[in-house]
Amino acid sequence: MPLVNEKLLGFVMVLTRISAFFLVIPVFAWQSIPVTVKVALVLLLAVFFSMVTPAPMAAKQAGVLEAVLLIVNEGTYGLALGLVAAVLFAAVKFGAHIVEQEMGLTLAEILDPLTGEGTAPLASLLEMMFIILFLSANGHHLFLLTLSKSYETFPAGSIPTIPVLTGEIISAGSIMLMAGLRMAAPMLAAFLLLMVVLAVMARVIPEMDILFISLPLSVGLGLLMVAAFLPLINAFVSEFAGLMGKLLPV
């Protein structure tokens, strides 16, 4: 009987880490994926990893309280791994929101079919393009590799270091902000130049309605710059894998 309980607890610990990880990572956590598919995939991965990873030593002769603490530790570690990936993934949408503010499209809100939440059209478009490029580059294999390395570095039953996990999440947030600003920087420079041109025109031709002219010019310039700098999204796909390897505590 103790052997059965030990194996069952080990499987539940593996299942908890994988469930917490897939609960927040991009693509898999979206509402567009059926719940039955999510549950089936998590159970399949839990069975696989519980077979290839050694049984946790802490599961042997663990009481009820110890078992609950072990499960909470696994959930904390899996949630931290998923949050790092989700924050890095949001860099493209953050950069698109900056451009939308300059274009005056912040009030144009649509329903995001992926998350079921309201979002701006340009951010949704760039995010979908990034997802297609990410999956075409076998980015989903990166998530599985992350889980595999996590069990090599922190086997099931080990106590996660909360300051390290918190620091990695904060670092991922700062990198997300920098990456979003870096992608939007050329477009911000173009809008700055447009504002200078419009200011000069307002001084040279006072009778011209600059506000009426600036709205279509801002939208047109924004769409033109987005089309011109789409290769930056493809470059961020390869950069995303490197950032995941540096930030994730595995």
Q: Per-residue pLDDT tens for 117-158?
A: 777 777 777 778 888 888 887 777 888 888 888 887 777 777
Distance set, CA 143 to CA 39, 53, 81, 165 (Å): 17, 17, 10, 17
How many residues in the chain?
250
- Residues 156 and 74 sit within 8 Å (Cβ to Cβ): yes
Give me the domain span that covers residue 226: 2-247
pLDDT digits (tens, 9 = 90+) for 7-64: 777 788 888 888 888 888 887 877 778 888 888 888 898 888 888 776 665 555 666 7
DSSP letter (8 states) at residue 32: T
CB contact set of 165 (below 8 Å; sequence gap of 6+) = 76, 77, 80, 249
Q: Phi-psi category of 37—alpha, beta or left, where left has phi over 0 and alpha has psi -120 to 50?
A: alpha
Closest CA to 187 of 219, 217, 213, 226: 226
pLDDT digits (tens, 9 = 90+) for 54-108: 666 555 566 677 778 888 888 888 888 888 888 888 888 888 888 887 777 766 6
- Residues 37 and 22 sit within 8 Å (Cβ to Cβ): no
Average pLDDT, rounded, for the chain? 78
pLDDT score at 175 = 81
* Tally of domains within the chain: 1
Rounded to whole angstroms, how far apart are CA atoms 20 and 43? 12
pLDDT score at 61 = 61
- Residues 214 and 114 sit within 8 Å (Cβ to Cβ): no
Closest CA to 77 of 9, 157, 176: 157
Locate 199 and state its tokens.
């200011």
Q: Is residue 230 scored above 80 in pLDDT?
A: no
The residues that bridge with 110 in the sheet, in sequence order, are 119
